[in-house]
Structure 1
Amino acid sequence: MPLDTSTYALALLRLDGRRWNELRRIHAQLSVQAAADGSSYFELGNTKVLCTVTGPAEIRYGQGGQTGGGKATGGGGDGEAKVEVEIGFAGFSGVERRRRRADKRTLELQHTLRTAYTTLLLTHLYPHSTISLHLHILSQDGSLLAACINAATLALIDAGIPMTNYLVACTAASTASAGSAEGAGSDDPLLDLNGLEEMELPFLTVGMVGEKVSVLVMETRVRQERVEGMLAVAVEGCRRMKEILDGVVKGYGRRYAA
């Protein structure tokens, strides 16, 4: 039996009860893995990511410049550290209970993260070394790239690796259906997409460093006139996400400084 959405429509609510500009429930922790140099756990609704950071570690002879085992590797130029990113999916993370291999989507996520953090981290402080990020996807329900970015930022802060600023991310979508005659006038952007919304709506992921857009990924095709509204909503979401992550870091510092 299909879900009756009339009540949500009349109240201008989404199917999960949020308004158009509301973030899902966010829970984050630092130092969740004692064996790693830095680690974090990040929940964005039902999307759950565990991130661990290893390094900076000295590059062993013959290791530099290699890319293997499903890892995205970048940086590592003269006098700079190399950044490695590896993403793994738990067999129970999605609807299909199976282990996911390094497919095209996974490689794209790794490449985006590696490129973003190679630029953000002060890699020149750690010559001839490697900084490795390992992201474990425990549950998927939309905004996966944004959740990975936020989790990686917290883990790198926990590891004490210097960066120019926080890199935070959010998703935004356009509600107008492509080719819908009644879509004009109902093209309102939505913030922080869940899995069902991602399947139905064109959306993008924005990552910001301070007030500068550092990551912009068009996850699906979208008309040019809709991009500006989506981008504005995502940027505002990133500002709020920055405040939330900053509160998590400060709270962690107060607990251990006391």
Structure 2
Amino acid sequence: MPLDTSTYSLALLRLDGRRWNELRRIHAQISVQAAADGSSYLEMGNTKILCTVTGPAEGRQSGQRGGKDNEAKIEVEIGVAGFSGVDRKRRGRSDKRTTELQHTLRTAYSSLLLTHLYPHSTITLNLHILSQDGSLLAACINAATLALIDAGIPMTDYLTSCTAASSSSPSSDDTDTSDPLLDLNGLEEQELPFLTVATLGKTERVSVLLLETRVRMERVEGMLAVGIEGCKRVRDILDGVVKGYGKKFT
């Protein structure tokens, strides 16, 4: 689906001033923690994530779930700051939402990283959620990708993620039409059905697709198309961060 804004009405701007296909401001840095093998800090709007990578480290296979002995195991640990959301609630490791995020990230990167190069070892991703304002899983994926690149762990390509939603509006013939929205903030996620999609590089190969709300099937195709285009743009932004960091050493 082309993201053409030439005929987009100013009256249809979202509450934060964006058009339907505009990303929020993305700010990212890598190598922000000297003690880690790789690290990153990422902001997508007001969602802020700090990610560190440890490993590959040998001798930590006991208790690992899944995987093969001749491949590296991937651990994901997520910590949520008590002040990160409006409810000021501290979530423990057994929190259902946190567990789901960890499982999704572990599954996504198990197929992306070249784990066969590091047998009998463990790669640990630690994500610290400092602020939440929508697109949480997408921000975690983008931050983890940068941290893994900083750690020098080989992967097939960038894994980048974005959210997309469907908003319904009445048409002249009294039928509902759906309008897609890209990169949701917290208020929009509370009001609209949305999905999170992650793709490899600039391709349309989907590695993660999570639909957390109920939506009519005829709307999913439009949401997915907009989300994939958003992932490609996020990939360009993250690639610019990596190249900008590399120029410091040339």
- Output the TM-score relative to the length of structure 1: 0.88
Aligned partner of 1:225 in structure 2 is: 218
Kept in 1, the 8 Å contact 2:30–2:150? The answer is: yes
Kept in 2, the 8 Å contact 1:176–1:183? The answer is: no
Which aligned pairs between 1:42-61 and structure 2 lie closer than 5 A?
Answer: 42-60=42-60
Please give the secondary structure, in 1, of the residue aligned with 2:33.
coil
Structure 2: runs of 5 or more not aligned: 1-8
CA distance in 2, matches of 1:132, 1:182: 53
CA distance in 2, matches of 1:126, 1:58: 9
1:136-190 C-alpha deviation (Å, 9 max, x unpaired): 0000000000000000000000000000000000000000179xx95623x1100
Residue 188 of structure 2 is aligned to residue 188 of structure 1: no
- Structure 1 pair 177–113 and aligned structure 2 pair: CA distance change class (3 A): farther
Q: Which of 79, 82, 98 is the equivalent residue of 1:91?
A: 82
1:185-228 C-alpha deviation (Å, 9 max, x unpaired): 3x110000000000000000000013111110002111100000
Structure 1 residue 256, shift from structure 2 partner: 2.2
Which aligned pairs between 1:108-257 and structure 2 lie closer than 5 A?
Answer: 108-176=100-168, 184-185=176-177, 187-210=178-201, 211=203, 212-257=205-250
Structure 1 residue 64, shift from structure 2 partner: 2.3
1:25-63 C-alpha deviation (Å, 9 max, x unpaired): 000000000000000000000000000000000024xx4
Structure 1: runs of 5 or more not aligned: 1-8, 67-72
Kept in 2, the 8 Å contact 1:177–1:201? The answer is: no
- Structure 1 pair 242–10 and aligned structure 2 pair: CA distance change class (3 A): closer
Kept in 2, the 8 Å contact 1:191–1:233? The answer is: yes
Q: Which of 98, 107, 112 is the equivalent residue of 2:99?
A: 107
Kept in 2, the 8 Å contact 1:20–1:190? The answer is: yes
Structure 1 residue 235, shift from structure 2 partner: 0.4
Letter in 2 for 1:59: G
Kept in 1, the 8 Å contact 2:163–2:182? The answer is: yes
Q: Which runs of 4+ in 1 moved over 6 A?
A: none
Structure 1 residue 91, shift from structure 2 partner: 1.1
Please give the secondary structure, in 2, of the residue aligned with 1:196.
helix
- Structure 1 pair 182–97 and aligned structure 2 pair: CA distance change class (3 A): farther
